[in-house]
Amino acid sequence: MKRIILPILTVLIFVATTFAQEEEVKKKDKPVSEPFFAGYLMDAQTTHIQNVKTIGMSIHHKFGTIENGRSDVWGVYSSANIRLAVDYVVYENLQIGYGLTKTDLTHDLNVKYTIFEQTRKNTMPVALGVYGNMGISGNPDLSFGEEYKFTDRMSYFGQVIVGRKFTNRITVQTGVSFTHFNHADTTKFDFDRIGLHLNGRVKLTGTGAFIFNVDYPLKALQLENHSDIELKPNVTFGWEIATATHAFQIHMGYSKEILPQYYMMREGKEFEFEQFNIGFVITRMWN
């Protein structure tokens, strides 16, 4: 009997010790530091969420297109789109927020959750996050037609984001999204859209970084009568300056829209450099 029990005990002790060591390594393997500084990367979301009880307030501003040159100071004195937003981290890696955008006077309620973070010793090689928002249009009732219902005002955007910090200076994200509008002018727009996303940050100085974003809408869910409509990618690039409590991003991009469901679904102007516009995002955080 001893000949049987002793080997079994030896195996059990070895397995328990191995699991304990692995668990200890996981505990010591902390998340990578600052893959992104802020939750916003111009028009896009990042997987990064601040510490619990952090409040973030943001101003998103996009000027008009640069096509008129000096006559309107490259769009600065042309029409503008603005979003004011506040976010709050209610629980570890869980953030909720509210925003108000000039386009359609849209109120948006949003939530973001980082399912897991990339770790320093690569026990988890990537970060995985999900983001979603619900927009509520503030347009007059008549703009939705004679059979108006309150739900016609609603639009939705959901995204799965995968990111990796490759070096101390380079972080890249990719993702897939789904957009839906309850009401649409079907002569120009669809109800649903699937999109692909790529964005990132290249840190070049102690506080400065080059940032970029590409959002590519797919034709998979286009209405039959829209097969000849060309979908345009949203391309944005800029410079980020970060401090302990602020992030300032100045950028140039194709879409005048700020909410993702709008630039994925309703941007249709010609894709030319003259149709790009200048914008900025300012984020202030309190913890």
CATH of residue 245's domain is 2.40.160.40
Q: Which residues pair with 161 in a beta bridge?
A: 129, 175
Identify whether 174 is part of a domain.
Answer: yes
Q: Tell me, what's the pLDDT at 12?
A: 46
What average pLDDT score do residues 58-75 get? 90
Confidence of residue 196 (pLDDT cuts 50, 70, 90): very high
Question: Residue 71: what pLDDT?
Answer: 86
Residue 14 confidence (pLDDT): 56
- Residue of higher predicted confidence among 199 and 23: 199
On whether residue 120 sits in a domain, the answer given is: yes
Q: How far apart are CA 263 and CA 277, in angstroms?
A: 14
CB-CB contact of 127 with 35 (8 Å): yes
**Contact status, residue 60 vs residue 38, Cβ threshold 8 Å:** no
Q: What's the mean pLDDT in 202-215?
A: 93
**What pLDDT score was predicted for residue 287?**
81
Least confident among 2-6, 72-76, 220-224, 248-252: 2-6
Largest CA distance in the chain: 96
Model pLDDT, residue 27: 60
- Domain of 281, in residue numbers: 31-286
Predicted confidence at residue 245, as pLDDT, reads 87
Note whether 171 and 132 are within 8 A (CB). no
Q: How much is the mean pLDDT over the chain?
A: 88
Q: What is the distance between the alpha carbons of residues 146 and 128, in angstroms, rounded to a whole number?
A: 43
CA-to-CA distance for 270 and 228, rounded, in angstroms? 14
**Domain presence at residue 152:** yes
pLDDT of residue 25: 47
Q: Would the pTM of this model clear 0.75, i.e. be above it?
A: yes
Give the mean model confidence (pLDDT) for residues 117-121. 92
In a domain, 7, yes or no: no
Flag the least confident range among 56-60, 67-71, 159-163, 248-252: 67-71
Q: H/E element holding 247?
A: strand 246-253
Give the Cα separation of 50 and 230 in Å (integer): 38
Number of domains composing the chain: 1
Coil vs helix vs strand at 275: helix
Residue 4 lies in a domain: no
Q: Rounded to whole angstroms, what are the CA distances from 74 to 15, 61, 122, 163, 267?
A: 67, 15, 46, 34, 20
**pLDDT of 77-90, one tens digit each?**
888 999 999 999 99
16 located within any domain: no
Per-residue buried b or exposed e for 111-137, using 16+ beta carbons within 10 Å of the residue's own CB: ebbbeebbbeeeebebbbbbbbbebeb
